[in-house]
Amino acid sequence: MHVVITGGAAFIGSHFVGRLLQRGHSVSAIDSFDAFYDRAIKRRNLSRYLDNERFRLVEVDLLDLDAAEERVGLGADVMVHLAARPGIPGSILDPVLSTRVNVWQPSERVRDRQPRRRSAGVPATCSAMLPRSP
């Protein structure tokens, strides 16, 4: 199976990459290497997989969906969306941007591209999506 993992260079995404490769799958990790955590830490998360011929790291911003799609292609069997703008302060300052990255952007493209394909949805959330306290 070919699995695309967004946010694949981060803590959870990179562990997921490792586990899928171990099980014999092909994995494309998409990540924009945003500045929230040190870029070097994220490179290190993936360093042991970079030589694996079943692994591909694609550095691209999901907000540019056309570029992301062009770089990754449409051949994925499963997409796991873990890319995120973490942190509550950021989501209060710019809720639209947080929602686009955390929830909306990839879902929209999957919906557009695979209208008739049956797919399983896995609901997930992140701290930035929690409501503000009253």
Residues lying near ligand NAD in the complex (CB under 6 A) = 6-7, 9-13, 30-34, 37, 42, 61-63, 82-86, 101, 126-127
Burial 22-38 (b: 16+ CB within 10 A, else e): eeebbbbbbbbbbeeee
Question: Whose Cβ is closer to ligand NAD: residue 53's or residue 112's?
Answer: 112
**Cα 3 to Cα 25: distance, rounded to the nearest angstrom:** 7
- C-beta of 32: minimal distance to ligand NAD in Å? 4
Sign of CA pseudo-dihedral 45, 125, 98, 132: negative
- C-beta of 109: minimal distance to ligand NAD in Å? 12
Question: Whose Cβ is closer to ligand NAD: residue 63's or residue 92's?
Answer: 63
Q: How many CB atoms lie within 10 A of CB 14?
A: 24
> Residue number with the shortest CB distance to ligand NAD?
126
